[in-house]
Amino acid sequence: MISIAGLSKNFRGNDRAVAALRSVDLKVNRGEFFVLLGPSGSGKTTLLRAIAGLEKPDQGEISLDGKIVYSRSRGLCAAPEERQVGMVFQSYAIWPHLTVAENIGLVLTHGRLRLSKKEAAERIRHSLSLVQLQDFAARPAHLLSGGQQQRVALARALAINPALVLMDEPLSNLDARLREEVRANIKKLAVQIGMTVLYVTHDQIEAMVLADRIAVMAHGEILQIGKPAELYRQPASALVAEFFGSINWIRGIAHGNNRVETELGPLWVADSRHCHGAVIVGVRPEDVHLQQSSNENENRIEGKVRSSVFLGDQIVSEIEVRGKILIAKGSPDDGEPSDTAFVYLPRERLVVFSDRVPSNSLG
């Protein structure tokens, strides 16, 4: 559906050029819900806008539905109105001088379709019913609440039956409760209509709930593409691992044979991507298990519980192991941890990367 190759874009600032996209390659399949995830400034919105035709890239090629819409080498750049996509903007971009129905009608009668008023009315009714706003058709758009405007924006994007719908952080201006509701609605609609969606967000929970596949972006590059669980369990880099939630980092030297000499002592790991030299081993808090006693030795180290906080559905503890603090999340059913405990780090849950200080620029 979307095919992007070698896409680059620089923004010229006051004194220097900032690379917003660095040779990005991407393929999105028909019917897929694809999420671009990254912190602000990662280039995800620029990528979306380049696909819509709102931003002109410097290099590369974009094709939509097998049709090239941008190609530097062929000197081709189709105008936004020629690309046949629907789009939901972060600010919703609902035209405040029109009514709800007119907002959708303008696109149908004066957009590419050039429908007659009568044909348009039928479509308006249908697309408003998709977002449960049938009764609001005659309402002036600027009198709607944020959540309603968001739904009108969605209805407008869907009204022209686009092959592809682009969404630019459509939920970021809604309050938390509404966000969850609308999120579920969007997912349901996407499945129901079978549309291809490219969705930009900086919220990893949103991404995991919605996406068939996710591309994690930072500094204008795609770091990793995969299904939500893949990205969580098998991050390709420390950066991606950090972006999907908190993680403990342990320094060490890998000696092959899945064995790492770490600051906490020797650890066995299943991850064999980096088996020599200085490495960092990552383990998520929920994979740090606390045990009172231990019969086995593998990946079990004695530590002191420094603090422990009850959060209802979980207990978060700080454990000092050989002078280093590890964060552990456990079930309250396991009981309050005692002062000393054995920390167990299951080998298949440890991720290993060659050592560089994990960047905090994410998160």
Q: Which of 68, 96, 246, 278 binds other proteins (CB under 8 A)?
A: 96
111 counts as binding other proteins under rule CB under 8 A: yes
Query: Least distance to other proteins from the beta carbon of 169, Å?
Result: 9
Nearer to other proteins, 193 or 275 (CB): 193
CA atoms of 223 and 6, how far apart (whole Å): 15
String of DSSP letters for 197-230: EEEEES-HHHHHHH-SEEEEEETTEEEEEE-HHH
Within residues 134-153, the interface with other proteins by CB under 8 A covers 142, 153
3-state percent helix, strand, coil for the chain, nearest multiple of 5? 30, 35, 35
Nearer to other proteins, 28 or 351 (CB): 28
Nearer to other proteins, 90 or 308 (CB): 90
Residue 332 DSSP code? G
Phi, psi of 268 (to 5 degrees): -95, 135
The contacts found for 182-187 with CB under 8 angstroms, 24 or more apart, are 182/147, 182/150, 182/151, 183/209, 183/210, 185/131, 186/154, 186/210, 187/33
Query: Least distance to other proteins from the beta carbon of 347, Å?
Result: 45
Nearest-5° Cα angle at 167, 166 to 169: 155
Q: Which of 19, 106, 163, 205 binds other proteins (CB under 8 A)?
A: 106
Query: Least distance to other proteins from the beta carbon of 9, Å?
Result: 11
Polymer length of the chain: 363
232 counts as binding other proteins under rule CB under 8 A: no
30 counts as binding other proteins under rule CB under 8 A: no
Within residues 164-203, the interface with other proteins by CB under 8 A covers 166, 173
Candidates 86-94, 123-131, 246-254, 293-301 — which segment interacts with other proteins by CB under 8 A?
Answer: 86-94
Nearer to other proteins, 199 or 342 (CB): 199
Burial class (CB in 10 A: 0-12, 13-18, 19+), 77: middle
String of DSSP letters for 29-95: -TT-EEEEE--TTSSHHHHHHHHHTSS--SEEEEEETTEEEEETTTTEE--GGGS-EEEE-TT----
Candidates 91-99, 207-215, 325-333, 346-354 — which segment interacts with other proteins by CB under 8 A?
Answer: 91-99
Nearer to other proteins, 55 or 61 (CB): 55
Candidates 89-97, 119-127, 189-197, 219-227 — which segment interacts with other proteins by CB under 8 A?
Answer: 89-97
Q: Which of 27, 30, 56, 125 binds other proteins (CB under 8 A)?
A: 56
Nearer to other proteins, 153 or 240 (CB): 153
Query: Least distance to other proteins from the beta carbon of 102, Å?
Result: 10
H or E element in which residue 150 lies = helix 146-159
Q: Which of 123, 156, 202, 284 binds other proteins (CB under 8 A)?
A: 156
Q: Which of 110, 125, 188, 356 binds other proteins (CB under 8 A)?
A: 110
Which of 228, 206, 205 lies closest to 215, judged by CA? Answer: 228
Which of 159, 111, 112, 115 lies closest to 137, judged by CA? Answer: 159
Q: State the number of binding residues for other proteins (CB under 8 A).
A: 34
For residue 201 the two structure tokens come to: 């967000």
Query: Least distance to other proteins from the beta carbon of 358, Å?
Result: 29
Q: Which of 97, 117, 118, 177 binds other proteins (CB under 8 A)?
A: 97
- Look at residue 340 and give its three-state secondary structure: strand
H or E element in which residue 97 lies = none
Residue 357 DSSP code? P
Residue ranges in contact with other proteins by CB under 8 A: 49, 52-56, 79-81, 83-87, 89-91, 93, 95-97, 106-107, 110-113, 142, 153, 156-157, 160, 166, 173
